């Protein structure tokens, strides 16, 4: 049987439990200092008691000496007589004080003349030997040496000092004990606070990311053992960053606390609710006990009260489910995150599950986004060029640069698919400048009467350096700004149009022409046609196609041309695919035509043949069709070769 531990041992062990080495050293030092002070105090008290005892002994001896000199004249005479070598011995009963155990009287020459009592010497610590001079009529006649019993006064003082010492020792012990208790309590509280900070979110009091992952792992183990399912929901507050910027961080934290309180109340008792990011919360539970969708909707149904302000919040929710432990916790969380991002990409305030069509679209968006980054890094983009001709003469006037993307695996990605993603991710600025630079390099090798059109994305106008970047590209490629045409759509006028108009004016001042593309299909408004003087108006191909069978579309097409003429703009008809389309565009007064009838978009390597064909056609027109292409080519062989060589550079 093990020996039982004393109660004080348990107490001490409890006090020392959890103490760090530094705290133990500090406590040990405190005890040592206290013990040293106690020892010094005891020694000081002992010294003081000894001094008091000696003073008391002296006082008793003085009284006895005075009594002796006053009451025994024979003693004075004895000391005055010559010493014959004898010593007068007296009994103890002759002493005048009970605490004078014995005494000796010496004459002034130091010879022993009288001895009284029992000779105890210094055998007892409570005896004090005191020497007192004896005087008679103002003259010293001898010395009295008395052994005084001080035991009574000594015991009395020691008892008093002991009581005081016990009180002081108890006080010191109490102070040490309280100090240990305070230190132990403070340490435990600090450890609890550290643990809480490590496991819980300080702002909301909910479990944090680390605790959430730990509990989710535990739920995964139970899911495997019990063959159950786990549903994970990630909730992200829509546009919360704007709320933070508008109201301030402190108010934002208050809103997060209120959201956390509502989520906690909406969750079942066996659901895990945590804050895993700035404005992202997580709820995990078995599917049998999972929080209901309507409970989450109720969290954000009512406005949040922030002081006197009433604020409405919405959230995007992504959901993923694991069955029988088939999905690891980290994969489950990744799926819920993808579903949540899909909910936000769909405009927010959505409830999206991982296996929904929206998530599939998000995965495709992420794939294309990664491909765009790879294309920029590895120079996978290329430009194709579609010819634009004069409507009446069919003479080549310009090319429109159209970007193309082919993946390393050979997949051709339509601009309609990757351009919106590039605009969403912000890479459109880099793509737009690359396109402009490559198009300028190409047009610099074409005959000078041929110009180049390049599309600008509305997002590019958010760049404060757009005008400077374009000017730098023109200087780098040495292209005359008059040979460059920038096409913009009506959507650039949505929102704050003033900065966009300023940038367009700056580009026009450089000599660049500005064309309004896809007119009539977007946010059509005649107001911005007089706010900014566009150089060209491009009619969307939908009007050309619709005019085949719809008289109203044909009438509207004519009105659009008339509007362009009113504002002194050149007109380009897009979507010309048949001779009827071409004749109709020329009849209505369109200056230029563009479409498959005159050629599809071709790579740069094919531009030379187009220019050569255009030159041959020019020769035929000049000679009324009498000169053959071969003769014209021979006549102009050297210039054409040089132009073709320049095109290929």
| Pair 115, 88: CB distance under 8 Å | yes
pLDDT of residue 69: 61
The Cβ of residue 378 has, within 10 Å, a number of other Cβ atoms equal to: 9
Tokens of 57: 């002994």
pLDDT of residue 626: 54
pLDDT of residue 330: 92
pLDDT of residue 70: 59
Return the closest-CA partner of residue 577 out of 598, 602, 556: 598
Where does 368-600 sit in CATH, by number? 3.20.20.450
**CA 640 – CA 649 distance, rounded (Å):** 14
The string of DSSP letters for 107-155 reads ETTS-EEEEEE---TT-STTEEEEEEEEEETTEEEEEEEEEEE-HHHHH
pLDDT of residue 178: 78
pLDDT of residue 642: 30
Tokens of 629: 């292409």
Tokens of 433: 């400048």
pLDDT digits (tens, 9 = 90+) for 482-498: 999 999 988 887 767 78
pLDDT of residue 380: 92
pLDDT of residue 94: 47
Tokens of 499: 């900065």
**CA 620 – CA 264 distance, rounded (Å):** 83
Residue 519 CB burial class (10 angstroms; 0-12, 13-18, ≥19): buried
Facing residues of 389 across strands? Answer: 396, 593
| Pair 401, 415: CB distance under 8 Å | no
Please report, for the chain, the start and end positions of each structural domain, with discontinuous segments joined by +: 1-199, 209-355, 368-600, 604-649
Return the closest-CA partner of residue 176 out of 318, 74, 29, 65: 29
| Pair 647, 451: CB distance under 8 Å | no
For 462-559, strand residue ranges (E) read 484-488, 513-519, 536-539
**CA 469 – CA 473 distance, rounded (Å):** 6
pLDDT digits (tens, 9 = 90+) for 29-45: 767 776 776 677 667 76
**What parts of the chain have a pLDDT lower than 50?**
1-9, 11-12, 15, 18, 93-96, 121-123, 627-649
Specify the pTM: 0.54
pLDDT of residue 634: 41
Where does 209-355 sit in CATH, by number? 3.30.70.270
């Amino acid at each position: 049987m093990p020996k039982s531990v004393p109660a004080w041992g348990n107490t001490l062990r409890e006090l020392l439990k959890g103490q760090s080495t530094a705290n133990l050293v500090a406590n040990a030092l405190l005890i040592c200092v206290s013990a040293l002070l106690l020892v010094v105090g005891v020694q000081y008290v002992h010294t003081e008691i000894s001094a008091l005892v000696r003073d008391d002994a002296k006082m008793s001896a003085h009284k006895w000496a005075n009594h002796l000199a006053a009451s025994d004249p024979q003693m004075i005479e004895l000391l005055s007589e010559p010493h014959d070598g004898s010593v007068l011995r007296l009994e103890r009963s002759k002493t005048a004080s009970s605490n004078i155990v014995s005494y000796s009287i010496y004459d002034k020459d130091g010879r022993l003349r009288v001895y009284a009592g029992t000779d105890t010497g210094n055998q007892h610590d409570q005896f004090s030997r005191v020497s007192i001079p004896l005087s008679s009529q103002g003259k010293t006649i001898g010395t009295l040496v008395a052994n005084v019993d001080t035991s009574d006064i000594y015991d009395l003082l020691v008892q008093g000092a002991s009581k005081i010492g016990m009180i002081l020792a108890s006080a010191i012990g109490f102070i040490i004990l309280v100090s240990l208790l305070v230190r132990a309590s403070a340490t435990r509280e600090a450890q609890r606070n550290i643990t809480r900070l490590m496991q819980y979110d300080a702002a909301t009091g909910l479990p944090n990311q680390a605790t959430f992952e730990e509990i989710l792992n535990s739920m995964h183990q139970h899911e495997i053992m019990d063959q159950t399912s786990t549903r994970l929901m990630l909730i992200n507050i829509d546009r919360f960053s704007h709320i933070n910027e508008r109201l301030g961080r402190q108010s934002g934290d208050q809103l997060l606390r209120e959201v956390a309180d509502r989520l906690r109340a909406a969750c079942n008792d066996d659901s895990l609710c945590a804050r895993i990011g700035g404005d992202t919360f997580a709820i995990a539970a078995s599917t049998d006990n999972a929080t209901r969708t309507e409970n989450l909707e109720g969290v954000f149904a009512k406005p949040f009260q922030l002081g006197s302000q009433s604020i409405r919040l919405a959230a995007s929710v992504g959901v993923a489910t694991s069955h029988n432990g088939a999905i690891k916790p980290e994969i489950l969380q990744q799926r819920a995150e993808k579903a949540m991002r899909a909910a936000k990409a769909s405009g927010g305030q959505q409830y999206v599950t991982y296996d929904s069509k929206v998530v599939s679209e998000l995965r495709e968006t992420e794939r294309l986004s990664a491909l765009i980054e790879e294309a920029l890094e590895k120079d996978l983009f290329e430009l194709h060029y579609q010819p634009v001709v004069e409507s009446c003469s069919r003479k080549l006037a310009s090319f429109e640069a159209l970007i193309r993307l082919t993946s390393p695996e050979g997949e051709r990605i339509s601009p309609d698919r990757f351009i919106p993603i590039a605009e969403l991710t912000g890479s459109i600025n880099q793509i737009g400048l690359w396109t402009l630079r490559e198009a300028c390099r190409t047009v610099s090798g074409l005959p000078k009467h041929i110009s180049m059109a390049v599309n600008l994305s509305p997002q590019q106008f958010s760049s404060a350096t757009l005008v400077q970047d374009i000017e730098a590209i023109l200087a780098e490629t040495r292209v005359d700004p008059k040979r460059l045409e920038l096409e913009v759509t009506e959507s650039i006028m949505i929102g704050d149009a003033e900065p966009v108009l300023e940038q367009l004016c700056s580009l026009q001042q450089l000599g660049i022409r500005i064309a309004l593309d896809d007119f009539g299909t977007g946010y059509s408004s005649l107001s911005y046609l007089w706010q900014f003087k566009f150089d060209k108006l491009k009619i969307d191909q939908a009007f050309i196609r619709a005019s085949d069978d719809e008289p109203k579309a044909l009438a509207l097409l004519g009105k659009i041309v008339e509007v362009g003429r009113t504002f002194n703009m050149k007109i380009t008809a897009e979507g010309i695919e048949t001779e009827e389309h071409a004749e109709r565009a020329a009849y209505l007064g369109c200056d230029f035509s563009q479409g498959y009838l005159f050629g599809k978009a071709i790579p740069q390597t094919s531009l030379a043949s187009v220019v050569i064909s255009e030159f041959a056609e020019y020769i035929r027109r000049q000679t009324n069709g009498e000169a053959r292409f071969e003769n014209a080519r021979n006549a102009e062989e050297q210039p054409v070769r040089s132009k073709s060589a320049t095109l290929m550079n």
